[in-house]
Amino acid sequence: MNKLVTIYGGSGFVGRYIARRMAREGWRVRVAVRRPNEALFVKTYGLPGQVEPVFCNIRDDDSVRAAMQGADAAVNCVGTFDLRGNNSFHMIHVRAAGRIARIAAEQGVQNLVHLSAIGADANSPSRYGQSKAEGEAAVLEAFPGAVILRPSVIFGAEDKFFNRFAEMSRTWAFVPVVRSETKFQPVYVDDVAQAAVKGVLGQAAPGVYELGGPDVATFRKLLKKMQAVIQRWRPVVNMPTFVMAPVATLFDVIEFVTAGILRNGLLTRDQLASLGVPNVVSDKARTLADLGITPTAMDAVLPEYLWRYRPSGQYAAIKASAKNLRKV
């Protein structure tokens, strides 16, 4: 266990999968997070002392440098959905990403992996997409040999996509969505982690990779697939943009006026703009296939963690089987 990787945001949804895989590769793993005491679970991913959470504020050079001290590779998994404030798109996606890349170059880190997103585009209609593109540019300027990963919407046990809408299907009479015909190409979180590991190990050529699963479907069809898994069929109602735009604006204003005390967790104007752009792998992009990774289908994973939203939960299969029993 001589080699060391620092994973910024390594206790988050994607980062924890990367940390686990790097531990299996025999590397020492330093998980750089804001609250190490809340990331102690990562210690179980390896042998005693192999995986350690450490404090890091990615908005501070010295903090980033301390977390990267002695590292052979670094991974940046940190992202945000905050448009303003100390952890805004610009602060996290652009300045912090550039900072990590610059310090990685200064310290002689061999390999750098940066997690971006499909939709990263300087001409994107959303500030989120623009900031992701600006962050990529900052990373490549400081560390030209970086591997940049652009996943579509990521699914897995801890995701905030299928879990969110499964809970809505469980508790609401219908599921409201905006721009239901927008296409997505969901990618399994552990496939993204595999891609990151390839970058850390130097098994991926520098540059941008767009990561998507084997299935491309509209927002509506994805929710219908999810509902079939949880055995709850609720109408998926497409809310017109002209109706939801004022709602998104209102909630954004409330968040701004209250200085973030009341957060807009429903729909922001920026999210509304993002939903107008297909979230799929482009034709000429390098993909998981170029990394030697076979993408995992949703059907193989969704039932493994969405079962808890079924009317009978873990007993759904047993009850379905019991219906087929013949009376003796």
- Ordered by where they begin, the domains of the chain are 4-156+185-216+280-295 (3.40.50.720)
| Tens place of pLDDT per residue across the chain (328 aa) | 589 999 999 999 999 999 999 999 999 999 999 999 999 999 999 999 999 999 999 999 999 999 999 999 999 999 998 888 788 999 999 999 999 999 999 999 999 999 999 999 999 999 999 999 999 999 999 999 999 999 999 999 999 999 999 999 999 999 999 999 999 999 999 999 999 999 999 999 999 999 999 999 999 999 999 999 999 999 999 999 999 999 999 989 998 898 888 888 888 999 999 999 999 999 999 999 999 999 999 999 999 999 999 998 888 778 777 777 765 4
CA separation, residue 60 to residues 9, 36, 73, 97, 211 (Å): 15, 17, 19, 12, 30
3-state SS assignment for residue 36:
helix
DSSP per-residue string spanning 118-136: TT--TT-SSHHHHHHHHHH
pTM: 0.94
